[in-house]
Amino acid sequence: MRYLFNHWDRISSRIKNAPRVFLFFDYDGTLTPIVPTPEEARLEPGIKDSIKLLQKNPKFIVAVISGRSLSDIKGMVALKGIIYAGNHGLEILQGSRRILRQGTRLKDSSLKAIYGALRAGLKGVKGARVEDKGCTLSVHFRLVRRAQRDLVKGIFNKIVRPYILSKGIRISSGKMVLEVRPNIDWDKGKAVLRLLAGNKKALPLYIGDDVTDKDGFRVLKKKGISIFVGRPRRDIGADYFLRNPEDVARFIERLLKL
């Protein structure tokens, strides 16, 4: 994995020569630093203004694709004209057109039961939080004492195991978060391909910081540019890396100057 700014001439040439560029940004850890609670991850005014300028440039199509719910990520970014994909692409809002994968709402009895069991099971663990995201569930444990994090994982695994065995759900993990998803063949990568279907001539560029972004990196192999945010990892599958959200902000500024 190569440091992006050491190869800027090559990357900028590809971007300049492309008729359009489709930019996919993860949110937490990419556009904002990782913070103790999700509510604290607010966009800095400077990067928000830069994304707004990108969106106004006809060369760029901008999408924010996140594990947050659609309403949450839209509220956090709060910019008109960009595409929002929440719950790892299970919910997509493109202009006034809302795309929701069928059979994914939390009203499903299995997800409701899991939500209740997790809330009860983790009630006594200080710092543990169960989040209802409409289509999915998340257990956040960043604020849990290190000595109790294995306890959180154990409670989680015990509760979800019967539902995994019955193939009713899928589980995944990220940075200090455990997730319950509907058992359907859908992820960030498939959401990216869905959005690219109507923009086949655009150069796709995906930036993300977590293991859930590997699906986005994978589908862009030999098709676009994939950028990991954080320390370079061989297993992540991206072409380039940026060190942190500050580097991402610098990258966006360079895009605006092309």
> Mind telling me the catalytic residues?
26
Alpha-carbon distance of 144 to 40, in angstroms, equals: 17
Alpha-carbon distance of 184 to 104, in angstroms, equals: 9
Q: 209 vs 65, 102, 108, CA distance in Å?
A: 12, 28, 30
List of residues 6+ apart from 10 with CB closer than 8 A: none
Residue-wise over 197-221: b if at least 16 C-beta within 10 A, else e? eeeeebbbbbbbbbebbbbbbbbbe
